[in-house]
Structure 1
Amino acid sequence: MTNHQYFRRDQDSAEVVVLGAGVAGLTLANLLQAAGVECVVLERATRDHIQTRARAGFLAPGTVRALERHGLAEGLRRRGVPHGTCEFRTRSGAFRLDYRELGRREHHTVYPQQDLVTDLLAHYLAGGGEVRFETRAVSVDGADGARPTVTVRDAEGRPGRWSARYVAGCDGRHGAARDSLPPTARRHRRNHGVTWLGLLAEAPPSLDAVGYALHERGFAGHMARTPEITRYYLQCAPGTPADAWSEQRIWDELDRRMYAAELGPLRRGPVVQRSVIALESDVVEPLRHGSLLLAGDAASLLSPSGAKGANLAVLEAELLAGALVDDLVHGDPAPLEQYSRRCLEYIWRAQEFSHWMVQLLHAPSESENEASFEAALRDARIDSLRTSRTHQDWFAENYLGL
């Protein structure tokens, strides 16, 4: 079917129009489809793009259990890798937390997010689901009425419209769902004043752990993705372009900040992907505005330091799917009325831990006197995490949970 056929009618319709084919949108679409609720997914990117864009891949045990409950975990069970160790590196040396033996004694499953998206998409399409790629949602109108409409444009700029009983905004912080919120929506924002250079290297992991290095020159991070690919992060000055540093400088800086001279060299390879990540957090309240509901990054953005984004997306999608099914199939609107409150409780808990991680991993940037005080507090946090079993159990529970 060609793109111009997508817009052959003045207005298409579905019970639920899902904006965005990321983890939140595709999880939601799969659950709605399984319950017999008619839905369509509108995605502005191509299928190839959503299946290849590299994102974090640390899935919490609760996320894995949720996907298993709904028959969506076949791929990650076959190819996911259990992981349960962090290594913190400081000028005082390195120490490890085997968090699978702490707290609730659980572990992450490392599974690249693009692979999860590919699995979710394949499952949805195999069941007869409909996804309109290269279809950009422009606005959501009439959310305060019984049948909101979504104005869209195809890849050639031709307009179209969808009507729905509900619109699920899973299209990120810059998508049409957020842009269409009424003035009564509250937006909480926090700029952490920290920027990371995100790097994907064709190099085997140098650690059998997630590496967090705290250095006077800035933070550095090591996260294994596959036996051949490693994700690295380097703190850089705000405004630094992604291509500003040569590969030689990148590897030299990683060696320096990760104390390679003292703790062992890093395994190098070509840097195949770069991005600049400004650490910001935000939350929209409430998450329901009439017939428009938010989930995933459209509901809240977390800094990547706490590894919560994809996990929150699955949790929110499961809650939203259950509430929509109760309303549309069983005629019970009560769960949908509670959706925003329930999700926000999880979101703010995740935000609190992510904020704690930002403070733990990065040196303060305030005035000299305040900076020295904050730096001493950070040293105390690290020392407590190194020595206190109670603190370690708290870390494990929050690192893995929502």
Structure 2
Amino acid sequence: MTGRQTIPAVTDSADVVILGAGPAGLTLGNLLLAAGIDCVVLERADRRHVQTRARAGFLAAHTVRVLDRHGLSDGLHRRGLPHGTCEFRTDGGRFRLDYGALGLGERHTVYPQQDLVTDLLTHYLAAGGRIRFETEALTVDDAAGVRPTVTVRDPEGRPCRWRARYVAGCDGRHGAARRSLPAAARHQRDHGVSWLGLLAEAPPSLDAVGYALHARGFAGHMARTPEVTRYYLQCERGTAPDAWSEERIWDELGLRMRTADHGPLHRGRIIHRSVIDLQSDVMETLRHGSLLLAGDAASLPAPAAAKGANLAVLEAELLAEALIDDLAHGDPGALDRYSPRCLAHIWRAQEFSHWMIQLLHAPYASDGEALFHESLRRSRVESLRTSRAHQEWFAENYVGI
């Protein structure tokens, strides 16, 4: 039996419909709301999931400045911890970089992303912001038109539509915003590396970010709170998150981080685990008519250099400025400038993330070309250890976006 597809009626509207309640979407929502712009945030997950999903935890100095400018930084100043040191462990020993005293003299603030999202959401709701949880965006239609619509599935599973002047796609690489665009708009790279990402109920074992380069694969140590530490272990592509026992995880971390030489790790219960395939992509352009992209929907940097959440906040501020110029001040040209302004920052962050991946991971193969690349990698590490000019460059790019 065939028949016409029923198109749901438009049930609500806003000048700006924001897809996704992550750092990009909630920062954008707060800035638009403060400027008197009518907006709504549509988020497919429930509120509890939004406020507890563990992601990044290192905020760049520029990100803190953006949040300061807009009165969104109270929580991170109360509970965030300044951080400016990283330690590299190799088969030739270990060395530290006080990157906070190098480059532009900027540090990170360690503040779990779920805490930042909770702060942004609390501020948005207190200011009267509209948000619809458990509302999954399915498509963005007529983005080239004057009044695009977003088809969603509401919490009861019913399809409905939102009409907007503009749609801000902040719903990630698999969200409706990207699905509504041609694949040709994306540049992408698979780095061929996978990590087992872990949250351990254990205090940090180092007062630095730890990068261990080992023949068995990369291992990483990143503080999150005084009671929780983030670890990474390079693993084979296709490894299931629960494939390794806790004992194996701690033994492998100890081996790769060379605890026999540099002291033991504080062990604790593994409270979260996932497998991350290191992939990067960039959408070009970030504006498609009335649909504009920010956050992971705009670009996905591999997590080797902690750029994702920081780019998201930067992009949200730039997008807010452009939308306010258009909607409040009658300057539509600001939206044309949004994409090139963001892409300049995105490609710089992508370049440094790519450099970090090459620094941290040995080639899997053992042929002549792989041995050549491994020798280059060792040379990069030695230059980073001994060259002040290289250290200055590293510091500026490590914190900068």
TM-score normalised by the chain length of structure 2? 0.97
Tell me how far apart the structure 2 counterparts of residues 301 and 55 of structure 1 sit (CA, whole Å).
13
User: 2:248 matched to 1:249?
Assistant: yes
The answer to whether the 8 Å contact 2:22/2:50 transfers is yes
Correspondence for 1:353? 352
Correspondence for 1:180? 180
Tell me how far apart the structure 1 counterparts of residues 16 and 310 of structure 2 sit (CA, whole Å).
23
Cα offset, 1:60, TM superposition: 0.3
Tell me how far apart the structure 2 counterparts of residues 242 and 129 of structure 1 sit (CA, whole Å).
37
1:59-100 Cα distance to aligned partner (Å, 9 max, x none): 000000010000000000111000000000000000000011
- Mapping of residues 125-144 of structure 1, within 5 Å: 125-144=125-144
Tell me how far apart the structure 1 counterparts of residues 338 and 182 of structure 2 sit (CA, whole Å).
18
1:163-191 Cα distance to aligned partner (Å, 9 max, x none): 000000000000000001146x5211100
Tell me how far apart the structure 1 counterparts of residues 364 and 200 of structure 2 sit (CA, whole Å).
29
Give secondary structure in 1 for the equivalent of 2:329: coil
Give secondary structure in 1 for the equivalent of 2:104: coil
Tell me how far apart the structure 2 counterparts of residues 342 and 396 of structure 1 sit (CA, whole Å).
23
Correspondence for 1:97? 97
Tell me how far apart the structure 2 counterparts of residues 303 and 174 of structure 1 sit (CA, whole Å).
15
Correspondence for 2:258? 259
Correspondence for 1:111? 111
Correspondence for 1:273? 272
Correspondence for 1:375? 374
Correspondence for 1:80? 80
Tell me how far apart the structure 2 counterparts of residues 291 and 366 of structure 1 sit (CA, whole Å).
46
Correspondence for 1:296? 295
- Give the counterpart letter for 2:204 in structure 1: P
Cα offset, 1:366, TM superposition: 4.1
Give secondary structure in 2 for the equivalent of 1:12: strand
Tell me how far apart the structure 2 counterparts of residues 11 and 179 of structure 1 sit (CA, whole Å).
22
Correspondence for 2:387? 388
The answer to whether the 8 Å contact 2:135/2:154 transfers is yes
Give secondary structure in 1 for the equivalent of 2:375: helix
- Mapping of residues 1-400 of structure 1, within 5 Å: 10-182=10-182, 185-366=184-365, 368-400=367-399
Tell me how far apart the structure 1 counterparts of residues 182 and 397 of structure 2 sit (CA, whole Å).
34
Tell me how far apart the structure 1 counterparts of residues 384 and 10 of structure 2 sit (CA, whole Å).
60
Cα offset, 1:42, TM superposition: 0.1
Give secondary structure in 2 for the equivalent of 1:181: coil
Give secondary structure in 2 for the equivalent of 1:215: coil
Measured on the aligned residues, the alpha-carbon RMSD in Å equals 1.0
Tell me how far apart the structure 1 counterparts of residues 155 and 370 of structure 2 sit (CA, whole Å).
50
Aligned length: 394
The answer to whether the 8 Å contact 2:194/2:235 transfers is yes
The answer to whether the 8 Å contact 2:294/2:316 transfers is yes
Give secondary structure in 2 for the equivalent of 1:370: helix
1:350-396 Cα distance to aligned partner (Å, 9 max, x none): 00000000000000124511111111101000000000000000000
Tell me how far apart the structure 2 counterparts of residues 335 and 13 of structure 1 sit (CA, whole Å).
23
The answer to whether the 8 Å contact 2:10/2:163 transfers is no
1:12-42 Cα distance to aligned partner (Å, 9 max, x none): 1000000000000000000000000000000
Sequence identity, in percent? Answer: 74
Tell me how far apart the structure 1 counterparts of residues 101 and 10 of structure 2 sit (CA, whole Å).
58
Tell me how far apart the structure 1 counterparts of residues 323 and 156 of structure 2 sit (CA, whole Å).
33
Cα offset, 1:196, TM superposition: 0.1
Tell me how far apart the structure 1 counterparts of residues 392 and 221 of structure 2 sit (CA, whole Å).
22
- Give the counterpart letter for 2:92 in structure 1: S
- Give the counterpart letter for 2:61 in structure 1: P
